[in-house]
Amino acid sequence: MDFACLWLGLLLPVAATLDFSYHHQDEMEEFLKKVAQNYSSITHLHSIGKSVKGRNLWVLVVGRSPKEHKIGIPEFKYVANMHGDETVGRELLLHLIEYLVTNDGKDLEITNLINSTRIHIMPSMNPDGFEAVKKPDCFYSNGRENGNFYDLNRNFPDAFEFNNVSRQPETVAIMEWLKTETFVLSANLHGGALVASYPFDNGVPATGTVHSRSLTPDDDVFQYLANTYASRNPNMKGDQCKNKMNFPNGITNGYSWYPLKGGMQDYNYIWAQCFEITLELSCCKYPREEKLSSFWNLNKASLIEYIKEVHLGVKGQVFDQSGNPLPNVIVEVQDRKHICPYKTNKFGEYYLLLLPGSYTLNVTVPGHNPHLTKVIIPKNSQDFSALKKDILFPFRGQLDSIPVSNLPCPTIPLYRNLPSHSAATKPSLFLFLVTLFHVLFKYSKM
């Protein structure tokens, strides 16, 4: 063999090799550590905490600046295996990691995605549950719950009713993790059905429960996001699970499917300013290994396309008249305020996921009059970047004059005492939003 070719081969990253089989904790750790070692310039492996039985909750970050946030680069995350016996998502995320790192510099779309996005991937939120499954089953196994026999998707604070359960180590780790990053978009991978489910999972009359649904102020965006994933998965938009509920276009409002208290996607949206949907990706919770390759082929395009949606809408920084970035400033669209207001991070950054259209941003600093500014998000928004709109607030003050808080609202049922006359829940407006969505979705496919 030519010596020069051999030397060049030693300089290039060693391709991560991953077979289509189930990878237990030791095997998963070995794979993740190998990727982090071989692709150290674009990856960062860290544990956000420990499970009940002391297993690491691993997160692999992929991006040009994997170890720290960069201004203007949105943070995205995937979390899988929250229920230990729902296993497809766990393996899909391992293969997604391999696909991303081995195609950087070779595939233009993947290279642009890594250039413009910081991607956090957690293959297993419930490693104890996965290891507890002794006899895999399509419908239920004893590994669904964590090591203390708690369902982790019923374990978060709830915005609609008190959820007085013992907060589990895995749940606490997620909640603390959300405080450390400015996550913009997320998905939580499950199994047992074929559908993309969007918030809210719980509700009150003010969010539309009298109409058998529970809608967020951003319902149009959530329907678009769910459709983005489902429309690219042939099974989700077509052949769905036998003897189970069918979902039009492969999407559903969470509450319309079944009410759920203490869920993770509602917590993300309300308290972490992160839009999260739940992806049910297999009729069988724990399918045979030989089917894993087909699941990857069915979901690969959806997984990539969904990450790109983190660049939807508008982003920017808020500055005072002296050019200092202002943290903890409320930045919201005038007609879609959140019950826990969305605020700028410590760098004065804001990210708002919005569909093409004209909007008025309401920028508010406590003790000062609101500052209104209009933005128009074009239909042909540039890929891999939201519209950039920096805001100069007519306010002079030091950076430390406004307290920094990533989770400014108490984790109590914030919706509990709202009157049941929210405009977002009126049938007429709901139909308008659905119609608008279909028009936009049709345009996006052209």
Contact 55, 128 (CB under 8 A): yes
Contact 55, 25 (CB under 8 A): yes
Residue 285: both structure tokens together: 């919770």
The 3-state DSSP class for residue 144 equals coil
Bridge partners of 120, per DSSP, are: 61, 77
Q: Which of 285-319 are b and which e, b meaning 16 or more Cβ less than 10 Å from the residue's Cβ?
A: bbbeeeebeebbebbbebbbebbbbbbbbbbbbbb
In terms of DSSP bridges, do strands 56-62 and 118-122 run parallel, antiparallel, or are they unpaired?
antiparallel
Tell me how far apart the alpha carbons of residues 277 and 317 are, in angstroms, rounded to a whole number.
26
Q: Which of 69-104 are b and which e, b meaning 16 or more Cβ less than 10 Å from the residue's Cβ?
A: beeebbbbbbbbbbbbbbbbbbbbbbbbbbbbbbbb
What is the 8-class DSSP label of residue 394?
S
In terms of DSSP bridges, do strands 357-364 and 371-377 run parallel, antiparallel, or are they unpaired?
antiparallel
Selection from 279, 21, 58 nearest residue 136 by Cα: 21
Among 131, 280, 332, 349, which one carries the catalytic annotation? Answer: 280
Tell me how far apart the alpha carbons of residues 428 and 206 are, in angstroms, rounded to a whole number.
15
Contact 338, 332 (CB under 8 A): yes
Q: Could you give the C-alpha distances from 425 to 56, 206, 239, 244, 422, in angstroms and in order? A: 42, 7, 31, 27, 6
**How far out from the chain centre does Cα 267 lie?**
11
Q: Which of 387-413 are b and which e, b meaning 16 or more Cβ less than 10 Å from the residue's Cβ?
A: bebebebebebeeeebeeebeeeebeb
Tell me how far apart the alpha carbons of residues 30 and 441 are, in angstroms, rounded to a whole number.
41
Q: Could you give the C-alpha distances from 433 to 183, 226, 270, in angstroms and in order? A: 26, 14, 21
Tell me how far apart the alpha carbons of residues 382 and 377 are, in angstroms, rounded to a whole number.
10
Q: Is 98 a known active-site residue?
A: no
State the DSSP string of 218-285: THHHHHHHHHHHHTTSHHHHS---TTS---GGGEEEHHHH---SS-HHHHHHHHS--EEEEEEEESSS
Show which residues are catalytic.
280
